[in-house]
């Protein structure tokens, strides 16, 4: 998969920098975790390298050992999230189920991925202007492929009489708004649990295309431990 290859191109440190030992990877991930939260809260220009370092309790050369520059950090985050969200409409070649069943599963996965990665996926939209043009083009390409897959499944299901909607493109974009805009209002500690939110949003998407099916049980990958544990 060329798509899977490209994550390494962005996310893997160059040979002359941090090696890929378990310790280095862990430190690298810690930087990413802190940066993700700061970028989400204060935006890309509003987050200084000094702030990231302060939050980590380290100095700048520490961070610059693991990342070439500030852009490599935000691009790694945005790329991971985009990859997680925008490959959910791909199915193996030997998957011969009818289109509307694949679509139902894909939409469910899409929503779940967007809920899980809502912080980082916000980056892909909000900091667009701060991203390098080449990287923006890659994100656009990823999104383009996703909407092509989504539109194809929608059209095929519609031809088979399983869906009802007016305009494929506008409806697909409208669905993109439903999940893509979530970062403006979603609060992980809010009224709904991640799984409940996924379920309700998936139901909404189904309704938008006239898909009559019950969403399967949601499965989100929450990094933080659940509140029920405390």
Q: Which of 8, 94, 134, 166 binds a copy of itself (CB under 8 A)?
A: 166
Half-sphere exposure of 72 toward its Cβ, with a 13 Å CA cutoff?
16
Contact call for residue 222 and a copy of itself (CB under 8 A): no
Q: Which of 59, 141, 160, 184 binds a copy of itself (CB under 8 A)?
A: 184
| 39 membership: H or E segment, kind and range | helix 22-42
Interface with DNA in residues 62-91 (CB under 7 A) = 62, 64-65, 68-71
Rounded to a whole number of angstroms, the minimum distance from the CB of residue 125 to DNA is 20
Instruction: Answer yes or no: are the C-beta atoms of 150 and 85 closer than 8 Å.
Output: no
Interface with DNA in residues 31-60 (CB under 7 A) = 45, 47-50, 58-60
Q: What are phi and psi of 14, to 5 degrees?
A: -65, 160
What are the C-alpha distances in Å from 150 to residues 3, 4, 18, 53, 109?
17, 19, 38, 40, 12
* Structure tokens, 225: 């431990």
Interface with a copy of itself in residues 48-107 (CB under 8 A) = none
CB of 44 or CB of 66, closer to a copy of itself: 44
Residues contributing to the site for DNA (CB under 7 A)? 18-19, 21, 24, 27, 45, 47-50, 58-62, 64-65, 68-71
């Amino acid at each position: 998969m060329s798509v899977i290859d490209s994550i390494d191109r962005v996310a893997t440190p160059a040979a002359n920098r941090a090696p890929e030992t378990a310790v280095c990877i862990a430190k690298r991930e810690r930087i990413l975790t802190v940066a993700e939260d700061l970028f989400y809260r204060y935006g890309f220009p509003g987050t200084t390298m000094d702030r990231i370092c302060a939050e980590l309790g380290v100095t700048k050369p520490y961070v610059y050992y693991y990342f070439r520059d500030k852009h490599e950090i935000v691009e790694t985050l945005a790329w991971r999230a985009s990859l997680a969200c925008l490959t959910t409409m791909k199915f193996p070649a030997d998957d011969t189920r009818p289109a509307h069943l694949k679509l139902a599963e894909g939409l469910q996965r899409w929503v779940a991925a967007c809920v899980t990665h809502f912080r980082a996926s916000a980056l892909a939209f909000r900091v667009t202007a701060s991203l390098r043009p080449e990287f923006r083009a890659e994100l656009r390409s990823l999104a383009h492929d996703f909407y092509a897959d989504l539109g194809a499944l929608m059209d095929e299901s519609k031809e088979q009489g399983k869906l009802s909607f007016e305009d494929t493109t506008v409806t697909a974009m409208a669905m993109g708004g439903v999940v893509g805009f979530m970062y403006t209002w979603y609060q992980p500690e809010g009224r709904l649990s991640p799984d409940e939110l996924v379920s309700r949003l998936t139901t909404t998407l189904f309704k938008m295309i006239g898909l009559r099916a019950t969403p399967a049980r949601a499965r989100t990958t929450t990094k933080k431990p659940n509140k029920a544990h405390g």
